[in-house]
Amino acid sequence: MADLDTSQLLAALEPVAEDNLNRHLEVAQEWMPHEYVPWSLGSDFKELGGDPWSVDQSQLSQIARTALEVNLLTEDNLPSYHREIERAFGRESAWGAWVNRWTAEEGRHAFCIRDYLLVTRGVDPVELERARMETMQTGFDSGDKPLLNVCAYVSFQELATRVSHRNTGKFTDEPIAEKLLTRVAKDENLHMIFYRNIVQAALDLAPSQTMRAITEEVVSFQMPGAIIPGFGRKAVQMAMAGIYDLRIHHDDIVAPLLRQWGVWELEGLDADGEAARDELAAAVAALDTEATRFVEKREERAAKLAARQGAAAAGH
């Protein structure tokens, strides 16, 4: 069977998009970003005669600051994401309505996280603004991915973002930050469900074509925040802290979605679809192996560090 082109896919999947848009509007709860910010803790900065930021003003650990910065800067690049998803889905019918609704909901995430960090002086606001400018000037470019690849990618990405926000909130050990990021994560989960259901319908419509798209996105997956200045170093720090690492990516992102979609039991694949599934199985197995190796090395490092600290304490 020949692959369906974008216009054919959009037309065939439009009823599914409409159903899921309506479902989303029914279950999404209204919430106000300003209600999650402790405004009474705020004070002026240098330009208005207040104190400039210093690290001793932050209640957050260095890793918590890094994770919040990465999460916020990722959310900041929304104009680029809007452009990319509108390019894929268009402005018409339920697809266009979803693009606008999704953009509106995503916008408040950056608002409230930034307000929280500025009011609580959680991070250096000068460095944060410089990083925001650099990130947004770089922008996000999906490389003109085909529609099915976009849907597969955002399914994984929205779930990954939900997990990253939720785990960051727990790691801050700060109740207000955790409450705020838990609220943001709920939005991300609903967004993931929309995209996940589109992919599910696409597997029924064009199983082999969709299987190829899923495989390509698992193999090449990168978080949209990869363009953030210093992202590689910051991602390693977050992984070492257990906020987001390869084990989480395999166990909590990739494996659950593949299981939900039933890719391992899917029937009706052509030769390329079967080849794609074989490639997917190999990629997931390699990810699992790499995740296990990472966790083992992290545990070894932690044990060595504990031993050195114990020896130093005994020496005193």
Burial of 262 (0-12, 13-18, 19+ CB in 10 A): exposed
Quick one: pLDDT at residue 2? 79
Instruction: Output the tens digit of pLDDT for each of the chain's 316 residues.
Output: 678 999 999 999 999 999 999 999 999 999 999 999 999 999 999 888 889 999 999 999 999 999 999 999 999 999 999 999 999 999 999 999 999 999 999 999 999 999 999 999 999 999 999 999 999 999 888 888 999 999 999 999 999 999 999 999 999 999 999 999 999 999 999 999 999 999 999 999 999 999 999 999 999 999 988 999 999 999 999 999 999 999 999 999 999 999 999 999 999 999 999 999 999 999 999 999 999 999 999 988 878 877 777 677 666 6
Residue at 1 is within a domain: no
Q: Is residue 36 part of a domain?
A: yes
| Residue from 99, 63, 80, 52 nearest 195 by CA | 99
The CA–CA distances, whole Å, from 306 to 13, 62, 255, 266, 314 equal: 55, 19, 33, 48, 12
What radius of gyration do the chain's Cα atoms show?
Answer: 21
Q: Is residue 119 part of a domain?
A: yes
CATH code of 303's domain: 1.10.620.20
Inside any domain, residue 302: yes
pLDDT computed for residue 141 by the predictor: 86
- pTM for the full predicted model: 0.93
Given this model, what pLDDT does residue 316 score? 63
Helix ranges (H only) for 206-253 are 207-220, 231-240, 246-248
Q: How far apart are CA 183 and CA 210, in angstroms?
A: 32
Residue 250: phi, psi to the nearest 5?
-70, -50
Q: Give the HSE-up count for residue 186: Cα atoms under 13 Å, Cβ half-sphere.
A: 11
Q: Can you give the pLDDT at residue 239?
A: 94
CB 246, CB 294: distance < 8 Å: yes
d(CA 182, CA 162): 9
User: Measuring CA to CA, how many Å separate 116 from each of 44, 69, 179, 266?
Assistant: 14, 12, 11, 45
pLDDT at 1: 63
Domain that residue 185 falls in: 6-315
Domain presence at residue 117: yes
3-state secondary structure at position 264: coil
- Alpha-carbon distance 221 to 106, whole Å? 21
Domain count, the chain: 1
